[in-house]
Structure 1
Amino acid sequence: MEFEKAVEFLQVQGTSFVINLVAAIAIFVIGRWLAKLLHRLVTKAMKRAGTDPLVITFAGNILYALLMFAVVLAAIGQLGIQTTSLIAVIGAAGLAVGLALQGSLANFAAGVMVVLFRPYRVGDYIEGGGVAGTVEEVQIFNTELSTPDNRRVIVPNGQMLSDAITNYSSHSTRRVDLVVGVGYGDDIDTVRRVLEGVVADDARVLSDPAPNIRIGSLGDSSVNWIVRPWVNAADYWDVYWEMTEEIKRRFDREGINIPFPQRDVHVYHHGGKNETD
């Protein structure tokens, strides 16, 4: 009799556990689907509102993580586990893990700082954390960059903010800085005319601010001119390379020399022996 009652009790408990387990799995599956759906809806809403892509990605990741945490707690609660005690245990464990993962927490805090102060945005070409590239995505802990040679580099947010950040895309215009060396025997007015002609003939050069063309320094072997036109940021590298090439072409046509480093050697005769300086 006692055995039959024990079997019946186990059957009832087993059936109840199976039902609760199936319900918990259903809660997890449906909750995960709803979390993804809500994540997509919120992301689309922020995009329609014109929110910065950096904020969309960062906020979306945090929202999804919080939703999944709530879904997991609901599924565990369906199994009959006391979630209040579980939360306390998770809190204590979280404190211990937090102390062990201080670097990750620092990266998370740095990610929040990036979202708040926006030293760079998605699509900006930056140099920071020892890497230069285009910002593809800002995640909770990392910033993803795409380098000019198509490499994907993941830099911790803490490393990005601990170093100087150079944002080449923050302004719509940039100044092209060229240094051109010519021989000391070349006519200054001719060189100036040629350089001004190269700059004036390039339609991508902006008139405001005006280009600056001057003698920058007198080097050991050359007279060094600075050529500094302003262009739209998107045209920077094309203007830099093509203008350098065009200057060389026109110098060749005008007979203007681009000297290479050289040294004059003077020979003196003393008592029938040659001495050099």
Structure 2
Amino acid sequence: MENEFNIQESINGLWQKLAEWLDSIILALPNFILAILVFAIFIIASKYIGKFVGKLLFYKVRQDSIREISVKIIKVVIIAIGFFVALGLLNLNTILTSVLAGAGVVGLAIGLALQGTLNNTFSGIILSFLPELQIGDWIENDGYAGTVVEINLRSIVLKEADNNYVVIPNSQLIDAPFKNFSRTPRSRVMVDCGVAYNSDLEMVKKLTLETIEKSFPQNANEEVEFMYKEFGDSSINFVVRFWTNVTKNRDILFARSTAIIAIKKAFDKHDINIPFPIRTIDFTNKLGLEKPSEEKNTTNL
């Protein structure tokens, strides 16, 4: 009898608890429906806000990958806000606090584990908005030079002159200097040369300036510069500097090649010698060869 009484009491307690839960569900049903509606509104809003932000970024960011990732991040943030608002409408303050605390711990762990990746990601976002670096520019960085063919959230991709690709982490471009040939339409090119010691230096200077000015017309506020540098081992060396159209390293090489050919032709026409290093071997010091002394054979008698 006592066992039957305990079972009956347990069943009655279970039904009472279920009735209380049912009452709680009925009372919370309006808030539950409202929370679902609010969460749905945030999802729909994230879609349209993402499209709007994508259109704005279209005029600011040239990289498709950067625009897509930025829009996705904005959508995730809006949906997360809607999720927390929905939890608040359900009066789940304890769950909300636990979720926020857990998200903080997980975020910290992920941040520590992916420190380098996150650094490259934020660096990629910064690079995408920098006017000093765009797709199609020719840059040099850490010994690598090439055309920028892609900028993503991890790295930039260069296509070098030998048609090979180089992947450079974004953080390296943020932390280290790089040279961009494509940001300015004209650059100064320098050519080194030397003439023989018996040359007329004034004539060499005048002839070199005329030759370069004829091959490379200078714009306003630009001029060809000629300076003697040093007395070399076999020549008097000089440098000539001039302006020309340059947007990549290849343009500098072609300009320098053209200038060298023009200077050589002009010097040959006026019998100006461009000496090459000469090594003189002096044979005046004769080495004395010591003849070995003849050994005398003696016989002891």
| TM-score using structure 2 length | 0.62
Q: Distance in 1 between matches of 2:207 and 2:282?
A: 35
CA 1:196 to 1:263, structure 2 compared with 1: closer, same or farther past 3 Å? Answer: same
> Could you tell me how far 1:64 is from its partner in structure 2?
3.2
Q: Which of residues 40, 58, 61 in structure 1 aligns to 2:66?
A: 58
Give the aligned partner of residue 191 of structure 1.
Answer: 204
Q: Which of residues 179, 192, 199 in structure 1 aligns to 2:192?
A: 179
Q: Distance in 2 between matches of 1:99 and 1:130?
A: 31
Does the aligned pair in 2 maintain the 1:204–1:232 contact within 8 Å? Answer: no
Give the aligned partner of residue 18 of structure 2.
Answer: none
Amino acid at match of 1:136: V
Does the aligned pair in 2 maintain the 1:135–1:144 contact within 8 Å? Answer: yes
Does the aligned pair in 2 maintain the 1:143–1:157 contact within 8 Å? Answer: yes
Give the aligned partner of residue 135 of structure 1.
Answer: 148
Any unmatched runs of 5+ in structure 2?
1-43, 83-94, 289-301
Give the aligned partner of residue 103 of structure 1.
Answer: 116
* Residue-by-residue CA offset, 1:41-98 (whole Å, 9 max, x unaligned): 8656544x4x3525x6534322135547878999xxxxxxxx9788876654443222
Give the aligned partner of residue 263 of structure 1.
Answer: 279
Q: Distance in 2 between matches of 1:150 and 1:86?
A: 51
Give the aligned partner of residue 295 of structure 2.
Answer: none
> Could you tell me how far 1:191 is from its partner in structure 2?
1.8
Q: Distance in 2 between matches of 1:57 and 1:173?
A: 31
* Residue-by-residue CA offset, 1:161-190 (whole Å, 9 max, x unaligned): 232222222333210011011221222233
Give the aligned partner of residue 30 of structure 2.
Answer: none
> Could you tell me how far 1:207 is from its partner in structure 2?
4.8
Q: Distance in 2 between matches of 1:129 and 1:237?
A: 20
CA 1:52 to 1:258, structure 2 compared with 1: closer, same or farther past 3 Å? Answer: farther
Deviating beyond 6 angstroms after TM superposition, the runs of 4 or more aligned structure 1 residues are: 68-74, 83-88
> Could you tell me how far 1:124 is from its partner in structure 2?
2.1
Q: Which of residues 209, 226, 230 in structure 1 aligns to 2:222?
A: 209
Count of equivalent residues: 232
Q: Distance in 1 between matches of 2:54 and 2:163?
A: 27
Does the aligned pair in 2 maintain the 1:129–1:160 contact within 8 Å? Answer: no
Please state whether the residue corresponding to 1:148 is helix, strand or coil.
Answer: coil
Q: Distance in 2 between matches of 1:223 and 1:199?
A: 19
Any unmatched runs of 5+ in structure 1?
1-30, 75-82
Alpha-carbon RMSD: 3.8
- Is 2:164 the counterpart of 1:151? yes
Q: Which of residues 261, 265, 268 in structure 2 aligns to 1:249?
A: 265
The structure whose Rg is larger is 2
Give the aligned partner of residue 181 of structure 2.
Answer: 168
Q: Distance in 2 between matches of 1:117 and 1:45?
A: 16
Does the aligned pair in 1 maintain the 2:195–2:273 contact within 8 Å? Answer: yes
Please state whether the residue corresponding to 2:227 is helix, strand or coil.
Answer: strand
Q: Distance in 2 between matches of 1:189 and 1:274?
A: 46
Q: Distance in 2 between matches of 1:90 and 1:129?
A: 39
| TM-score using structure 1 length | 0.66
Give the aligned partner of residue 18 of structure 1.
Answer: none
Q: Distance in 2 between matches of 1:62 and 1:251?
A: 60
Please state whether the residue corresponding to 1:177 is helix, strand or coil.
Answer: strand
- Identical aligned pairs, as a percentage? 29
CA 1:44 to 1:62, structure 2 compared with 1: closer, same or farther past 3 Å? Answer: closer
Give the aligned partner of residue 112 of structure 1.
Answer: 125
Amino acid at match of 1:102: Q
Amino acid at match of 1:96: A
